[in-house]
Structure formats: structure tokens, C-alpha cells
Amino acid sequence: MKKLMMFAAAMTIVGGAFAQCELPTASNECALVYTFKASVKTTVAKAKIDCDEICYRNKGSKSLKGYLYVCSCYCEDFMGGSLWFEDTKTDEVFEGGLGWSILSRIGKKSMDAEGFWTGGAQGDENTGITMYAAGFGAFDSKTGVLKNMSGNIVGMMDAPICAKDCEVGAMAVAYPACDWESSEDVPTVLFGSWSISYNKKLSQKYYAGLWAPGL
């Protein structure tokens, strides 16, 4: 848990550097905004009405929607961008960042793309999340900008929370297989699919200082 929270906090700091697009300068001639989506399987918290019952975990799913954005169009800057997204089922907002370990041109004309990134974010309910993602995509042959990418995502996040009248904010327990002692301090898994798609309109608005995630 501590490692997960520390990593997410570190990625939030990295991403925070791009939270507001600077005024145009010679080194900042445009901005990049991508819509970000992830559909993942994970666990959700369950509890019976009786307040004496334990808050436990069940298989569940989440839909994450938001943006990847960078206040620059330079490739070196894009290698570390900001993430902002919402859990559409709970309305929890996450902020953080990602770093590309692999972002390469492939294919006969070198217009296809392959990528691998590691990301982290912190939710407004103090939920830490760590993600590892890989996929294929395409570059724009005219501008050289990455147009889109999609693939698989895997990671972990803090334990889901039971919200019940008698014990608001109780974390759902898990039972580590080798000791079978219940613990709320065990992260939960997530895995599924993800995608990003270049948003020209929002990129222009971000560059002009007329857009920010969450507005």
C-alpha cells in the first residue's frame, strides 16, 4: 500500500507541471490533448445492511474517462504527460501523470506506432492507482503527431471502500493467500483495455489558455 501511494503521489507531481498551459513562447508553440479511456475489471466493496457484517470485495468493473495532455508539441515533452480522468460510476476524479518507456514508429512506412507507458494518479477520495499499459496506434503522416493508440492495461489500486451509514469509509478487506488473515491494507487489481485519441479542438483551446481538465 505504501509503495502504491508513494508512486501515485510521485506521478501526480510529475503531471502537475503541465496542469496549466503556459503562454506561447519560442519553446512552447502548441499543446497536445488526447481523450483517454479505460475499461477495466477490478473489485468493488460490498457490505450487508447489518453494521456488524464485514466490508468485503466482489468482482466488479470501472469505466475511466478523461484526458492525457501536455503543454508542448515537442516529442521529448510528450514522453511525460499529465493525466486527468474520472471514474464514471463513482464520479471520483483522479489526477497524475504517465511516462512512456517505449514510443516507436513501426510499419512499412513508419507511420504505425507501438508504445508502453507507466502511470500513476491520486483520487479525490485518497485512492491511489498505478497503471502499466501497452498498445498499437498510428502517427499522422502530415504532422507527425501521434493520432491514437489502444491496447491492454494492468495495474493495482487501493482497496475499494464501503459507504454505509454506520461505518462510512470502511475499506473492503482481502485475505492474503499465504496467511489468511484479513487486511484492509491490501491493494486490489485492475486489468482491461485503454485508448487515447488526439483531440485537435481541445489542443488548440489548451494552447490558447481556454481549456483545462475538469472545466
pLDDT in tens, 93-116: 999 999 999 999 999 999 999 999
C-alpha cell recorded at residue 149: 493508440
pLDDT at position 9 is 40
Looking at the chain, list the stretches that DSSP marks H as alpha helix, in order from N- to C-terminal side: 2-16, 75-78, 200-207
pLDDT at position 13 is 36
Q: Do residues 97 and 81 touch, judged by C-beta distance below 8 A?
A: yes
In percent, how much of the chain has pLDDT > 90?
A: 62
Cβ-based neighbour number of residue 25 at 10 Å = 7
User: Is the model's pLDDT at 129 over the cut of 70?
Assistant: yes
Please indicate whether residue 10 or residue 191 has the higher confidence score (pLDDT).
191
pLDDT at position 7 is 42
What is the pTM for the complete model shown? Answer: 0.86
Mean pLDDT of the residues in the chain: 85
pLDDT at position 18 is 35
Q: How confident is residue 49, by pLDDT bands cut at 50, 70 and 90?
A: low
pLDDT at position 42 is 97
Average pLDDT over residues 53-59: 86
In percent, how much of the chain has pLDDT > 70?
A: 81
Q: How confident is residue 26, by pLDDT bands cut at 50, 70 and 90?
A: low
Task: Supply angle C-alpha 137, 8, 90, rounded to 5.
Answer: 80
Residues 90, 93, 97, 102, Cα dihedral to 10°: 30
pLDDT at position 189 is 97
pLDDT at position 102 is 97
pLDDT at position 28 is 58
The percent of the chain in helix, strand and coil, each rounded to the nearest 5, is 15, 50, 35
